[in-house]
Amino acid sequence: MGESVTYDQLRHRIEREDELLNARTGIFLVVNGLTAVAVGIDQRFASRLLVAIVSALINVLWLVCSLKSRQVLKALTVHLLKRFPEHPVERIVQTALGSSHCIRPTTILSIYLPGLVALGWLVAVALILL
């Protein structure tokens, strides 16, 4: 980004990327819920296994996609903090989020949630095979 980028432009882009991550997360959670219901209702082994395998693969792809979103958000935030380290709004945001990056919303939505759901589907595949 050039030197002419303003705080408002950077903050707007961060907010837009965050909205995209939240929207994608919502879509995948709804799809996963409906898929879980389908697996629970259908009694045929082959169809349950197929749905669970496809769901596991889709969720692994969701994890990759969400990790990329996290990288974009992190790069934008690092750039913003380097350019505007003392901006009052940014101080409020960073203070509210805290120093631990392990429990920030973006980390939860982009790593933990898709990772747990993908792991859950992999376990479902294993249980169906048993």
pLDDT one-digit tens code per residue, 116-128: 998 998 898 898 8
Query: Does pLDDT of 48 surpass 60?
Result: yes
Query: Does pLDDT of 2 surpass 70?
Result: no
Give me the half-sphere count of Cα atoms (radius 13 Å) on the Cβ side of residue 8.
0
Instruction: Write out pLDDT tens, residues 53-81.
Output: 888 888 889 999 999 999 999 999 999 99
Q: What's the pTM?
A: 0.83
Write the CB contacts of 111 (distance below 8 Å, at least 6 apart in sequence): 63, 66, 67, 70
If you average pLDDT over residues 27-49, what whole number do you get?
85
